[in-house]
Amino acid sequence: MNNKAFLPVLFFLGIIFSLFPVHIHASSTQAYQDYLFQFDGYRTKYNNFSVAKTEYLKYKTLLSETTALDTTESMMTQRSQLLVSYLKFLTEKVNENKGLTDGQKAQFNTLIADETTFLKNHLTKIAAVTSITDATAVSKELESHYSSFQTIVRQVIVGLSLGDLSFLNNQYKTAQTSLQQVVLMNTSHVSPQKQETIDRWVNQITNKETSYQQAIDAITVNNIPSPKNVNNTDFDGLLTNAQTNLNTAKKQLSDGTSYMKELINLLQYQE
């Protein structure tokens, strides 16, 4: 009787929700879509800029110079907006990351905010450009700053992966502790020989966690370069190297989890 009385309410709620659909998207997904949109705009404006520049360099007419200046300003504005949208995407990724501490998030967000501030100032300068010479001078500010931008971006990217791994590692450690408690509960019910095997496997699971930590320490110490010590050409190599080490750390957790599964199977059945 109560259920029947509740049905019209459910029906009514269903109609309400269908009339007002709620699209739940992660903020980083929306930010990424905006970044891709800005990237498309940048490609278009860069192509226009390239054509106008070629014509200006070829004909040197007033008309071609004006067109070149307009397209250069437009391209530079779009370029900065693209980078701002990318930083916004990174900010959302940092905020959504489950493994980073609040302190780490604040640290990364400060770095990103500094870059955003630089780009917004850069946009103001672009708006004030009146000649191709001005445009070239303003562009060079970004060019010289770009090493710092690249370093910070890669620090954040590696930091996000470290956060992901940290989240997994926390789960791993909790499972490890629980598993050890289960092993203690089971000690009086198994033979000394089997207990010896169980203890050895538990040690190997612990060793995997130690190996993971060593891999993480190596990334933290060696793979995040100082902005002052890195050239433009090193960035992709450094990121690839960091990602290789991140994968090594991840593999330790993966191996350790496989060991846990084996231990579970060992505990599950009698001798």
* Residue ranges that bind other proteins, judged by CB under 8 A: 32, 39, 42, 46, 53, 56-57, 60, 68, 72, 79, 82-83, 86, 89-90, 93, 132-133, 135-136, 139, 142-143, 146, 149-150, 153-154, 157, 160-161, 164-165, 168, 171-172, 174-175, 178-179, 181-182, 185-186, 189-190, 239, 243, 246-247, 250, 253-254, 257-258, 260-261, 264, 267-271
The residue type found at 129 is: V
Residues 6+ apart with CB under 8 A from 37: 85
Structure tokens at 196: 């010896």
Residue written as token pair 């191996």 = 255
Residue 191 contacts residue 271 (beta carbons within 8 Å): yes
Measure the CA angle with vertex 258, ends 253 and 264; round to 5°. 125
Nearest approach, Cβ of residue 74 and other proteins (Å): 13
Of 136 and 213, nearer to other proteins (C-beta) is: 136
Q: Measured between alpha carbons, how far is 89 from 83 in angstroms, rounded to an integer?
A: 10
DSSP assignment string, 74-114: HHHHHHHHHHHHHHHHHHHHHHH-SSS-HHHHHHHHHHHHH
Of 46 and 105, nearer to other proteins (C-beta) is: 46
Nearest approach, Cβ of residue 13 and other proteins (Å): 32
Nearest approach, Cβ of residue 18 and other proteins (Å): 32
Compute how many other C-beta atoms are within 10 angstroms of the C-beta atom of residue 228.
8
Structure tokens at 255: 């191996």
Nearest approach, Cβ of residue 260 and other proteins (Å): 5
Of 100 and 135, nearer to other proteins (C-beta) is: 135
Nearest approach, Cβ of residue 46 and other proteins (Å): 7
Residue written as token pair 């930091």 = 159
Nearest approach, Cβ of residue 110 and other proteins (Å): 18
The residue type found at 95 is: N
CA distances from 86 to 9, 20, 172, 249 (A): 45, 31, 32, 27
Nearest approach, Cβ of residue 268 and other proteins (Å): 5
Of 193 and 270, nearer to other proteins (C-beta) is: 270
Structure tokens at 205: 């699971």
Residue 51 contacts residue 45 (beta carbons within 8 Å): no
Of 100 and 165, nearer to other proteins (C-beta) is: 165
Of 117 and 181, nearer to other proteins (C-beta) is: 181
Of 12 and 43, nearer to other proteins (C-beta) is: 43
